[in-house]
Amino acid sequence: MDTKKIRNFSIIAHIDHGKSTIADRLIEYTGTLSKREMENQVLDNMDLERERGITIKAQTVRIDYKGKDGEMYCLNLIDTPGHVDFTYEVSRSLAACEGALLIVDAAQGVEAQTLANVYMALEHDLEIIPVINKIDLPSADPDRVKQEIEDVIGLDASEAILASAKTGEGIEEILDAIVERIPAPSGEADKPLSALIFDSYFDSYKGAIAHIRIMDGVLKKGMGLKMMATGKVFDATEIGCFRPQTTELQEMGPGSVGYLAGSLKQVRDVRVGDTVTLAEGGVTEPLPGYRGVTPMVYCGLYPVDSADYDNLKDALEKLQLNDAALVFEPETSIALGFGYRCGFLGLLHMDVIQERLEREYNLKLITTAPSVIYHVFKTDGEMVTVDNPSDLPDPTTIDHIEEPFVKATVIVPKDFVGAVMEISQNKRGEFKSMDYLDVNRVMVIYHIPLSEIIYDYFDKLKSSTRGYASLDYELADYQPAKLVKLDILMNGEAVDALSTIVHVDNAASRGRSLAAKLKTIIPQQMFEIPIQAAIGNKIIARENVRALRKDVLAKCYGGDISRKRKLLEKQKEGKKRMKAVGRVEVPQEAFMAILNID
């Protein structure tokens, strides 16, 4: 393939602005797949993705298109995950491109994630083609959106393409713009091979497969290769492109995008951002921007039925084959028994993994509240990282604790600015800046602890701005904070899985609210259950779950056996997600209660 005929591009957009639908139309229009072959939304192909309507795993597809000049072009669409958890993956995908379509919803305008992604694309010097989508909507206002693109992003929107992925309007124009406006890749064939890995997946026959973009040199089937970050040496047993199904090739030149398989057993060998070069005589410097995966959020996963412990381990191992960002290790909790401490890129990632474990592997799990990673500086000068509140060292040995902060960007209509500020302030946010995007919309930036974002920041934002707020955040730094461990005692016993780390100023109120909330969640049992919140030895709140007087069957006078069975079934149903902690039956919600108290 002649490098001059290649165009590598991504699509960047805020969630729901129509990225996947536009991609589908491009694929359909060029006949890459017939309509019948195209199951709805090819690019979002995981069930969960489809249900949630968001892209979790990026996909790549090669589209052949005859340009206005009559020449055939090879357009490689590199899809990017559409969620803040996957910012690093997005940055690697963009590094594989020369251009990007910027999709903006004609009714919604520029949103927080549009901005974050555009800035990243600009950092990579990509040619950006603004596309205003959904112009078929009655509420579409393309002129306002154009103005916003110019004012807020600083891009020339005079040549923005007006499109509707629904009606197909503007699709041809987009394809022509990709050919005409996005530069061809600039790699050189006679240099030693260097290829960027921008994604990976696991195939049960071929092993771990890398999605690659050749920067320089030529990749041939059978070549001896090396991963620069891990030093792993292997042979290219198969190379090819995505149409979108994998299609084998014998060689791939500079600028090409496709896949690479070679006796690589796990996705951990294929690290996103790593550079592939020749085993002998390759490049000496890796491509810039490589970063190892670092989980941001941890939680404990425990099987409700302890006999499922091994099944949980098998399931986690299988999921990890395809997800290098998932980490886990065995953990024991006094309250919950044997389980795993798992690390995730963020809350969505955590949610998706939990759901897959339950759905695909049929596991019933108790999940503990997510925790960020704290840096605990001890008086003896040692620094330990703590991702489980119950592991916090004895307070007398702690000099100080640092916690992760993020830069949070919120975009809202101006009437809601007060609400955003109030919520952010309550969440220990530090105000950074406020700018008007247009007469009506405002961008507010806060420096705020990640743990507060995890709690219920976004839910609160959404509810107090009638859903209008959009949020994006990125890890900023670690800062010292006065943090303490809040323990919960049930029936006089501390329940390790309910411990949390909170700011000292909020500790008393959080303790009270949590005890009160738990009182409503813990079902009444045959005996009274005191619930106490404590910091160190000091009890700061107490509630009682009163004893149950009658058992459920007492209602069934006489012997209506079917009614009795129904009641017992119902009770069993409710018990599914219960875990006996000492003598107390504790439902799943209790472990998440900390996330939604006021």
Interacting residues with ligand GTP (CB under 6 A): 13, 15-21, 44, 53-55, 82, 133-134, 136-137, 164-166
- Token readout for 179 is 């050919």
281 is in an annotated binding site: no
- 135 is known to lie in a ligand binding site: yes
Q: CA-to-CA distance for 22 and 29, rounded, in angstroms?
A: 10
Min. distance of Cβ 43 from ligand GTP in angstroms?
A: 8
What three-state secondary structure class fits 556?
coil
Complex with ligand GTP: residue 163 or 366, whichever CB lies closer = 163
Cβ 259 to ligand GTP shortest distance, Å: 22
Q: How far from the centroid of its chain's Cα atoms is residue 176's Cα?
A: 33
Which residue lies nearer to ligand GTP by CB, 21 or 333?
Answer: 21
Task: Judge contact between 221 and 288, C-beta under 8 A.
Answer: no
Closest distance of CB 19 from ligand GTP, Å: 3
CB of 61 to ligand GTP, least distance (A): 14
Asked if residue 544 belongs to a known ligand binding site, the reply is: no
Contact 134, 140 (CB under 8 A): yes
| 133 marked as binding residue | yes
Contact indicator for 234, 262 with CB cutoff of 8 Å: yes
CA distance 384 to 379: 11
Q: Is 55 annotated as a binding residue?
A: no
Say how many Å lie between the first and final Cα of the chain, rounded: 60
Which is closer to ligand GTP, CB of 20 or CB of 87? 20
Q: How many CA atoms lie within 13 A of 509 on its CB side?
A: 6
Q: Pairing mode, if any, of strands 251-252 and 219-220?
A: antiparallel
Query: Which of residues 44 and 89 has its CB atom nearest to ligand GTP in the complex?
Result: 44
**Nearest residue (beta carbon) to ligand GTP:** 82
Cis ω on the peptide bond leading into residue 142 (within 30° of 0)?
no
Closest approach of ligand GTP to the CB of residue 267, in Å = 22
| 10 versus 367: smaller Cβ distance to ligand GTP | 10
Q: Name the residue nearer to ligand GTP (CB basis): 53 or 154.
A: 53
The nearest distance, CB 174 to ligand GTP, in angstroms, is 12
| Residues listed for the chain | 598
Min dist CB 15 to ligand GTP, Å, is 4
Listing DSSP states for 376-424 in one string gives EEETTS-EEEESSGGGPPPGGGEEEEEEEEEEEEEEEEGGGHHHHHHHH
85-116 b/e (C-beta count within 10 Å ≥ 16 → b): bbbbbbbbbbbbbbbbbbbbbbbbbbbbbbbb
- Report the nearest approach of ligand GTP to the CB of residue 462 (Å): 16
CB 222 within 8 A of CB 228: no
Query: Which residue, 90 or 252, is less far from ligand GTP as judged by CB?
Result: 90
- Check the annotation: does 125 bind a ligand: no
How are the residues of the chain apportioned to helix, strand and coil, as percentages rounded to the nearest 5? Answer: 30, 35, 35
To ligand GTP, the closest distance from the beta carbon of 50 in angstroms equals 9
Judged by beta carbon, residue 414 or residue 462, the one nearer ligand GTP is 462
Nearer to ligand GTP, 26 or 461 (CB): 26
Our CB check for ligand GTP shows the closer of 169 and 589 to be 169
Nearer to ligand GTP, 149 or 540 (CB): 149
Contact (CB, 8 A) for 341 and 326: no
Helices (H) and strands (E) in the chain, counts: 14, 33
For 395-428, b/e burial (b = at least 16 CB within 10 A) is eeebeebbbbbbebbbbbeeebbebbbebbeebb
| Shortest spacing between CB 290 and ligand GTP, in angstroms | 25
Helix (H, G, I), strand (E, B) or coil at 507: helix
Q: How far is the CB of 21 from ligand GTP (least distance, A)?
A: 3
Q: Is 564 annotated as a binding residue?
A: no
Rounded to whole angstroms, the Cα distance separating 61 from 44 reads 12
Enter the tokens of residue 107.
Answer: 């009714």
Residue that has been written with the tokens 């503007």 in this structure: 170
Q: Kindly tell me which of 83 and 226 has the beta carbon lying closer to ligand GTP.
A: 83
Q: Which residues contact 416 (CB under 8 A, 6 or more apart)?
A: 464, 465, 466, 468, 469
93 is in an annotated binding site: no
Give the DSSP letter of residue 175: H
| Distance, CA of 579 to CA of 453 (rounded, Å) | 28
Shortest Å distance, C-beta 335 to ligand GTP: 37
Residues annotated within a binding site for GTP: 16-21, 133-136
Residues annotated within a binding site: 16-21, 133-136
